[in-house]
Amino acid sequence: MANPWFESVAEAQRRAKKRLPKGVYGALVAGSERGLTAEDNIAAFAELGFAPHTAGLANEKNMATTVMGQEISLPVIISPTGVQAVTPDGEVDVARAAASRGTAMGLSSMASKPMEEVIAANPKTFFQLYWVGDRDVMAAKVERARRAGAAGLIATLDWSFSYGRDWGSPFIPERINFEAARRYAPQVLTRPRWLWGFAKTMKIPDLTVPNMVATPGDKAPTFFEAYGQWMQSPMPTWEDVAWLRELWGDKPFMLKGVMRVDDAKRAVDAGVSAISVSNHGGNNLDGTPAAIRALPAVAEAVGDQVEVLLDGGIRRGGDVAKSLALGAKAVMIGRAYLWGLGANGEAGVGNVLDLLRDGLGSAMIGLGHTSIDQFSPSDLVIPPSFERHLGVDGVDAPFAPHSSGKG
């Protein structure tokens, strides 16, 4: 067998594409509408350059930090993704890989594995909630997370139910029945390694979401049943955010998906302990700028009051370095680990985390830093119109050059 180790996230993606059935791969590519935001998340990192030193560099690389009360060995954690059928153990594989590399994990409400199993594999697990149902329903889910020992809660509210991709959406069956098997067969039969992974477990992917019920073991809805409930739920208010935060008690609470300075301030007022500057990996309102463009203004406004993380577009250690230089305490990764999982299961996720650690280490050497808290904007070459100041006296046009003269 060829060496399963890969040298870049791009290579992991190529292997995942080869190995996974087309529909599963397409679900990981995700993105919405024209894909502007998903593309900008990547393009924006490429616009940022480094300003390296030549001599007087150091070997020491102190990357340890804390996020939401958890000690982590590098400033990279797993972002929650609701993805099915990549490997039989799914999120448990991801949790094990994250634990083995000393880092934390966000677990999605839409995940395929129960939170109790994931937390057993990695106690540094934050459970992610969407706002589905009413306050009573939400409270019951929060109680389950508390009983299961979740280290923190992540509330993701930035979903706009955008659908329709110009490059086409994959066929995802409601459940695996005869019709689904017939439609899936042509793509699955050409992917023997993926099929063998499931065949060994004597189970077929059941495509249910076990964290959407309040009691572990209760009959779980399918992904689409849960999605339907979610679409019919009233949209949460800032009062609901404050209510949820208070209900969770003393443990850390993150609001994920903040892009605007005014919203970041409201999140602080609602009592959150962390925010993630994020556009959901370009899966919600297409035309939202890259998260990294919005980061500096948000970090400057609230970075001394809450932990500011970033997610969206992280594919290499250099991207982590750029995010830290622009004010993030740590980053979360989505597709990068999904490609690793698709390419080589648990070991592939570990491989991705190792690549990010090594790449961050290279940036530290080049920039002469011995500790990640030494990153600053002066490490970077930042084009004049790079930043976006959303929610500061009105909104910058998402892709027009920034001309407000602010900051």
Ligand X SMILES: Cc1cc2nc3c(=O)[nH]c(=O)nc-3n(C[C@H](O)[C@H](O)[C@H](O)COP(=O)(O)O)c2cc1C
- Active-site annotation, residues: 280
In angstroms, the CA 82 to CA 65 distance is: 27
Say which residues have a Cβ less than 8 Å from residue 340's Cβ, sequence separation at least 6. 6, 9, 12, 16, 97, 348, 349, 350, 351, 352
140-159: which residues touch ligand X (CB under 6 A)?
156
Residue 386: count of CB within 10 angstroms of its CB? 18
317 is an interface residue for ligand X by CB under 6 A: no
Whole-number minimum distance, CB 330 to ligand X, in Å? 13
Q: Say how many CA atoms lie within 13 Å of 298 toward its Cβ.
A: 32
Task: Between 278 and 288, name the residue whose CB sits nearer to ligand X.
Answer: 278
Residue 369: count of CB within 10 angstroms of its CB? 24
Q: DSSP states of 245-309 as a string?
A: HHHHTTS-EEEEEE--HHHHHHHHHTT-SEEEE--GGGTSSTTPPPHHHHHHHHHHHHTTTSEEE
With contacts defined by CB under 6 A, name the span among 266-274, 330-338, 352-360, 381-389 that binds ligand X.
Answer: 330-338
Whole-number minimum distance, CB 403 to ligand X, in Å? 28
Amino acid at 256: K
Whole-number minimum distance, CB 105 to ligand X, in Å? 11
For 393: left if phi > 0, alpha if psi spans -120 to 50, otherwise beta; the answer is left
Is 319 annotated to bind a ligand? Reply is no
320 is an interface residue for ligand X by CB under 6 A: no
Whole-number minimum distance, CB 349 to ligand X, in Å? 13
Is 312 annotated to bind a ligand? Reply is yes
Binding mask 86-115 for ligand X (x = CB under 6 A): ----------------------x-x-----
Dihedrals phi, psi of 65, to nearest 5 degrees: -155, -170
Give the residue nearest to ligand X (CB).
Answer: 334
In angstroms, the CA 216 to CA 154 distance is: 19
359 is an interface residue for ligand X by CB under 6 A: no
Q: Which residue of 311, 319, 346, 379 would you call a contact of ligand X, by CB under 6 A?
A: 311
Output DSSP code: residue 75.
Answer: S
Residue 211's nearest CA partner among 128, 101, 123 is 128
37 is an interface residue for ligand X by CB under 6 A: no
Give the largest CA-CA distance in the chain: 65
Whole-number minimum distance, CB 80 to ligand X, in Å? 4
CA-CA-CA-CA dihedral for 343, 347, 348, 350, to nearest 10: 170
Is 128 annotated to bind a ligand? Reply is yes
Q: Which residue of 278, 288, 344, 351 would you call a contact of ligand X, by CB under 6 A?
A: 278
Task: Between 65 and 79, name the residue whose CB sits nearer to ligand X.
Answer: 79
Is 334 annotated to bind a ligand? Reply is yes
Task: Between 96 and 316, name the residue whose CB sits nearer to ligand X.
Answer: 316
Task: Between 283 and 344, name the residue whose CB sits nearer to ligand X.
Answer: 283
Burial of 294 per CB tally in 10 Å (0-12, 13-18, 19+): buried
Amino acid at 209: V
Q: Which residue of 13, 65, 70, 81 would you call a contact of ligand X, by CB under 6 A?
A: 81
Q: Is the dihedral of CA 101, 105, 111, 116 positive or negative?
A: positive
342 is an interface residue for ligand X by CB under 6 A: no
Task: Between 145 and 367, name the residue whose CB sits nearer to ligand X.
Answer: 145
Whole-number minimum distance, CB 311 to ligand X, in Å? 4
280 is an interface residue for ligand X by CB under 6 A: yes
Is 370 annotated to bind a ligand? Reply is no
Known binding positions for glyoxylate: 165, 280
Residues lying near ligand X in the complex (CB under 6 A) are found at: 27-28, 30, 41, 79-83, 108, 110, 128, 156, 256, 278, 280-281, 283, 311-314, 333-336
Known binding positions for FMN: 80-82, 108, 128, 130, 156, 256, 278, 311-315, 334-335
